[in-house]
Chain A
Amino acid sequence: MKQKNSLPAVFLTPAIGILAVLALVPTAYAIYISFQNRELSRPDGSFVGFANYADLFSDRRFINAIGVSLTWEAVTVGMTLLIAVGLGILLFECVSPRMRNLLALLFLVPVILPRVSAAFVWKFAFHPLYGIATYPYKAITGEPLDLLSNPATALATVALVDVWQWGLFFAVIVLKLLETLPPQPFEAARLDHARTFEIYAFIALPMLKAPLISLAFVKMIESLRAFDLIYVMTRGGPGIATETLDMYAFSQGFIESGRISYASSMAVLMMIATTIAFTFIWKRVQ
């Protein structure tokens, strides 16, 4: 049924060719300049071998950034899934199908907003004097509440915005997944007087194990792109309390010193770490 024709080659070659060039050239170039000592102010540099990489491991800000990034990954992925599963089940359990569709549409609003918009909207909501989110605290205690300038709460506050965007979106997906399940196991469990909680914990969620793991995987990749939120809301501050790896690489390569070779070595390490981790997870998910 499949005859020889030119379509696959004609359709695939330009797209894959362009993708390969656009992806591999910068990647190769990043590795190349990471072995040099180029800076933005000087066009030329010389090869320094692994010096940049060696420096990274004695750089306290780099170690701090690894910690912040890992914390960010764990908190945003965990909270997003928790909220998504909770709200998804409530959507499935508590409201009529028409209401469900309306709520599902509303839940999509945060994730569609540009992250710069979401970041600003919440930055202003958390403003210690004029913010609407901090107003109740101010009205009750008479004290202003400045969450974004406090090193202990800044990262959690930014993470809240990320979870707001993704948790509500994933709740809609969990709802759609629940709707695809066959109803028979649920009815059988109800007849056996299983409680609602037990039905979800022991029947529905185990049935959805594979798609839920895929969701976690997608969120892990997406959480690596925290830069926009952090840049607008805290710029990595106060101090370096919210400085993730991409934020630190950006400030090294761009704002503070223009050390593009140093920043590239960081980027290359990130690339290697994420590619290994995600390839491993992807193969296991398959």
Chain B
Amino acid sequence: MTARTLGRVIGRLILGLAAFSAVFPMFWTTLNAFKNRVDIVTPTPLFIFEPTLDNFAYVLGRESVFAGLVNSLLISGTSVLIGAILGLPAAYAIARYPNRWSRDIQFFVLSLRFLPPVAIAIPLMVIWLDFGLYDTRLSMIVTYSLLTLATIIWLSVPAFARVPKEVEEAARVDGYGPYAVFFRVALPIALRSLIGAVAFAFVLVWNEFLIALMLTTSDAKTLPIVASELTQLGRDVPWGILNASVVLLSIPPLLFIGVLSGMLNSAFKRKTQ
């Protein structure tokens, strides 16, 4: 019995360490974002210091960071909207009206995830250059719509499949047409899982790096690109500013953590019943 308790204590210790490792790096980065440079470049890490808002003021006041923020919001927002408007109905059709192509369509959508991003980005770079659309928000939105559409379809098919068939049948008996069943029954019932799918797509394109790096040079640069350029600065590295820009970049995805964890829970709930 004592061996069991000992094992449990060690297990809890390991879990505690893992949880610490999960949150401490970001916590430390946030602390550094409020430090003056002299408090960061110390031989011993400092936990107590005089906080400053200079780093955030500098980052938010910089035109490149502000432009990156606007680009990121516009590009991610629009491509997620396109992905949702086209992807949700498509996912519903796959889930509810299976035909002989359904499996092939699902496999095709999944196989888009196999494509190495660099294999898409190189030809797209040439294509957008030829069209004169290279380094524009429009070309980025179109490119990202490929990612959002595939992701939203892939994650929404199971969400629609979980809507009880009986509810839809009942609505049909009440005289609802197929479109009314989708908009007024299936969509509201599956809404929670669908929001998770859409949030996941948003986080995916907000965090996307390689394609943005290759398809933008100045006008349409997204926030990850701007932040990574700051991290490549030379000798007198403005560490405080770097930490502040990383914190800024990480806030939007972290806001969705509750939604995404809810999606995980509902995805695994069905199997227990």
Contacts and interface: CB of A to CB of B under 8 A. Distances in A.
Nearest to A103: B19
B29 interface: yes
Interface in A30-51: 30, 33, 38
A267 B210 CA distance: 14
A166 interface: no
A16 B104 CA distance: 11
Contact of B254 (A16, A109, A173): A109
Contacts of B12: 94-95
Interface in A95-115: 95, 103-110, 112-115
A87 B15 CA distance: 7
Given A7-B178, A139-B44, 8 more contacts: A105-B257, A107-B19, A115-B209, A117-B250, A135-B45, A196-B4, A263-B118, A279-B114
A52 B184 CA distance: 55
B217 to A, nearest CB: 11
A270 B119 contact: yes
Nearest to A221: B113
Contacts of B268: 173, 176-177, 179-180
A231 B264 contact: no
Contact of A271 (B93, B108, B119): B119
Interface in A1-25: 1-2, 5-8, 10-12, 14-16, 18-20, 22-23, 25
A15 B149 contact: yes
B170 interface: no
A221 B21 CA distance: 25
A202 interface: no
B188 interface: no
A178 B105 CA distance: 31
Interface string A221-242: 1001101100110000000000
Contact of B114 (A16, A33, A275): A275
Nearest to B256: A112
B249 A18 contact: no
A257 B26 CA distance: 37
A263 to B, nearest CB: 5
A268 B228 contact: no
Given A15-B153, A224-B116, A227-B117, A124 B242 contact: yes
Interface of A: 1-2, 5-8, 10-12, 14-16, 18-20, 22-23, 25-27, 29-30, 33, 38, 87, 90-91, 93-95, 103-110, 112-117, 120-125, 129-130, 132, 135, 139, 164, 168, 171-173, 176-177, 179-180, 196, 221, 224-225, 227-228, 231-232, 245-246, 249-250, 253-254, 260, 263-264, 267-268, 270-271, 274-275, 278-279, 282
A12 B231 contact: no
Q: How large is the interface on B (under 10, 10 to 19, 20 to 34, 35 or more residues)?
A: 35 or more
Contact of B86 (A14, A117, A196, A270): A14
B14 interface: yes
Residue of B105, B119, B143, B258 ringed by the most chain A CB atoms within 10 A: B119
A270 to B, nearest CB: 5
Nearest to B107: A282
Contact of B97 (A2, A16, A95, A275): A2
Interface of A: prevailing SS: helix
A227 B227 CA distance: 16
B119 A109 contact: no
B253 A114 contact: yes
17 contacts: A2-B97, A12-B90, A15-B87, A27-B120, A29-B123, A107-B18, A109-B22, A112-B203, A120-B29, A130-B239, A139-B44, A176-B268, A225-B116, A246-B116, A253-B125, A260-B122, A270-B119
A253 B120 CA distance: 13
Nearest to A9: B93
B15 A94 contact: yes
Contacts of A129: 41, 43
A279 B107 CA distance: 9
Contacts of B153: 15, 19
A260 B130 CA distance: 14
B201 interface: no
Residue of B45, B109, B123, B268 ringed by the most chain A CB atoms within 10 A: B123
